[in-house]
Structure 1
Amino acid sequence: MKKVKYKPLLLVLAALQLIACNGPQQVNKETLKDAFAGKFYIGTALNEWQITGRDTASIDVVKEHFNAIVAENCMKSAEIQPEEGVFDFSLADKFVDFGEQHNMFITGHCLIWHSQAPRWFFTDSLGNDVTREVLIGRMKTHIETVVGRYKGRIKGWDVVNEAIVEDGSFRESKFYQIVGEDFIKLAFQFAHEADPDAELYYNDYNEWYPGRRDAIVAMIKKFKADGIRIDGIGMQGHIGMSGPSIEEYEEAIMAYANEGMKVMVTELDMSILPNPSFGDLGADISTNFEYRKEINPYEDGIVPLEKQNEWDSRMVEFFNLFLKHSDDITRVTLWGVNDRTSWKNNFPVRGRTDYPLLFDRENQPKSIVGKLIDLAKQTK
């Protein structure tokens, strides 16, 4: 009978026992915020479950990888002031507290936006449109109250969101119809008065469209001529696999930077799904198309490796562009922590399953995270 040698086996068992007693040995994990330190802030949007701490797994990702945060919904006017004079800061306060506790750059989003605004903002007791003077007064009260509450705590504000359409004309919102184009300038004026030290931004999607880009540049020039403070442009960055091109996006970055603006990518995500006839929708949340099986190919959660690599390559291209212009780009913020909670799952088709972010549905880093960390480390 062959003699069995137990010594190697005993050594393995001893090692396993040591791990069981002391836990797995921690390796130094490189994080996104460390990799991009000195280049730009790397941020994410937080939803209600994350702000309140109920989604603990997502919050762990936020604390580990990000050093900037923006509120996805809780600071929009319908949430903050659902009735005239009735302000609810309960969730917004928790959001700001979280950012301060973890030494993060906090952005307020957003003060004036035609969508997710309460209906009362624009109407009188009979349901008729209010006068220009009344709406300006309501804007002033709202902005002064919200910005004033977080004076010195929130570092920058998306003052006006999505006020210009692709051809460069003004969006026919109630703000524009009642006040005229001055509503944008007035909003920036009121925000500056409420907190003279806060940075003030204009934020929009499809911000690379030549018509919209040129109109934003013209607005910046007009603000400067009128002595109105504006510090930066938020390029939302809701991109797709087929557009915009890197060249188109770079042209927009340079156009804003050439006007002395800080440039931020404020709501970055990239749909991996087919986009056969939607065009460049950006983030017009009122848009919805009929569900078809062929435009929801990964509902089982499995993305083919070839497709994931294609997605990774395009995202790396964009981050390479951001790093190239890091002297002008101050922040790159993802619009959500993980694929499961992304708004892209239902846009522009309800019921689709999308994979537009850096972390998967279980809050695990996707292959892109390591690639971005390596890219940042290689960039001087």
Structure 2
Amino acid sequence: MAARAVPASANKGAAKIQGDRTLPSRREILACTAAALAAAALPARAGAAAPSLREIGSARGIEVGSAFSGSGSPEYLEILRTHCDVITPEWQIKPHFLKPDRFGPYRFAEADAIRDFCRENGQKLHGHALFWHADAIRWAESGNFSTVKRLYGGFLRDVVAHYADVPSWDVVNEIVEEQTPLRDDFLLSRFGHDFVDFCFRTVHEAAPEARLVVNDYNLSCGESWCDAKRANMLRLLESLLKRGTPVHAVGMQCHLSSRYETSPRAAAEFVRQVADLGLDIYISELDLNDVDFADDVATRDRQVADHYEEFLSAMLANKAVRRVCFWGISDSANWIARGHGEADRKPDPRPVLFDANDEPKPAFDAVRRALEAAPAR
């Protein structure tokens, strides 16, 4: 996950979930995760919506998902069980969290608990993410590509082998820039597309059945920097496919904003171009910063709902869009509502489908309608 729809040059001090978050301690995470998994066995609340988003999406070949940190209220866990096919760990599979020290052990416990939650509820775990500049494993960096292949390749093989049943991976996360084709990161700067191709091939060899994804932000807005980002992403994809790189999908984060214009037309055209390359599209980290919408909650909820319905209707009209994953499907677990990442937000942000008490909002019905209107894949 990353900065929202703002140009990279304006984004140095604000916009990363991982970079700006205050991580809970290991003890807090394990305690919360244990409580969460115990609560997962609770019966569903009376009055739960039927059919669920999961069922509606499944009937059309669209997976519905959410990010999950491993903790939440019993009501929130019920929402995840009921409405989600796919669960994405927020930070628990990111490189530095998993393996901060070359000679230290892997820290698999937190992600293992989320994997167990998925298994218990018939859900898929999405692997996020194997390379990310903001959570780098510096111990695997070197100016010698052979050394990088040995160290970073060992990390990739270890993680993918540990999560052998994961059906999809964000192999690289946020590697494309607006002003330049690739981000100015140590490994990307030195080895460019060779490093990206190496990562994909290594993961593909370790998990030949998994769907492998390039995940990035600023691909859905109407601003000029999003036009540049989309163009650079298309150039990257064309280059990788020409090499025979085993890339299967593009993850569009789609952190929408009331401040920066969302462009369903531009996003849908980008989807068409990606689909023409033979790739799928995953809407991978969907939410909406309502900072410039009305202060009145009822009015704002309608604005948020309308925004979701217009955007998703345009996106889901293309059959190449096969996944819609929220970055926390409830305000009780969403990063904007928790106060991370964005510098500007409402005092009481309401960015996703359920409120802070895990009750559905108009946005839930808007997403349901967009899924119901989507053609079957």
TM-score by length of 1: 0.78
The answer (yes or no) to whether the contact 1:234–1:264 under 8 Å persists in 2 is yes
User: Which letter maps to 2:122?
Assistant: N
In our comparison, the structure showing a higher alpha carbon Rg is: 1
The answer (yes or no) to whether the contact 1:30–1:373 under 8 Å persists in 2 is no
Q: Which moved more, 1:210-219 or 1:32-41?
A: 210-219
Q: What corresponds to 1:222 in structure 2? A: 239
How big is the shift at 1:157?
0.3
Structure 1: any 5+ residue segments left out of the alignment?
1-23, 123-128, 276-296
The answer (yes or no) to whether the contact 1:168–1:213 under 8 Å persists in 2 is no
How big is the shift at 1:352?
5.4
The answer (yes or no) to whether the contact 1:168–1:214 under 8 Å persists in 2 is no
Identity %: 23
Report whether the alignment pairs 1:338 with 2:350.
no
How big is the shift at 1:26?
5.9
How big is the shift at 1:379?
4.8
Compared with structure 1, are the counterparts of its residues 25 and 247 closer, same or farther at alpha carbon in structure 2 (3 Å cutoff)? closer
In structure 2, which of residues 122, 126, 130 is the aligned counterpart of residue 111 of structure 1?
A: 130
Matches within 5 A, 1:116-265: 116-122=135-141, 131-151=144-164, 153-208=165-220, 209-241=226-258, 242-265=260-283
Q: What corresponds to 1:60 in structure 2? A: 78
Give the secondary-structure state (helix, strand or coil) at the position aligned to 1:309. helix
User: Which letter maps to 1:247?
Assistant: R
The answer (yes or no) to whether the contact 1:44–1:335 under 8 Å persists in 2 is yes
User: Which letter maps to 2:328?
Assistant: G
Q: Which moved more, 1:129-138 or 1:186-195?
A: 129-138
How big is the shift at 1:214?
2.2
Distance in 1, matches of 2:218 and 2:316, equals: 20
How big is the shift at 1:34?
1.8
Q: What corresponds to 1:35 in structure 2? A: 56
Q: What corresponds to 1:322 in structure 2? A: 315
Give the secondary-structure state (helix, strand or coil) at the position aligned to 2:282. strand
- Larger relative contact order, structure 1 or 2 (CA cutoff 8 Å, min sep 6): 2
In structure 2, which of residues 55, 58, 66 is the aligned counterpart of residue 44 of structure 1?
A: 66
1:12-61 deviations in whole A, cap 9, x for unaligned?
xxxxxxxxxxxx986873321122223201100001324xxxx3221111
The answer (yes or no) to whether the contact 2:352–2:363 under 8 Å persists in 1 is no
Distance in 1, matches of 2:120 and 2:143, equals: 42
The answer (yes or no) to whether the contact 1:233–1:261 under 8 Å persists in 2 is yes
Report whether the alignment pairs 1:95 with 2:114.
yes
Distance in 2, matches of 1:190 and 1:83, equals: 21
Q: What corresponds to 1:281 in structure 2? A: none
TM-score by length of 2: 0.79
Compared with structure 1, are the counterparts of its residues 335 and 26 closer, same or farther at alpha carbon in structure 2 (3 Å cutoff)? closer
Q: Which moved more, 1:157-166 or 1:110-119?
A: 110-119
How big is the shift at 1:240?
1.1
Give the secondary-structure state (helix, strand or coil) at the position aligned to 1:203. strand
Distance in 2, matches of 1:315 and 1:266, equals: 14
Distance in 2, matches of 1:307 and 1:352, equals: 11
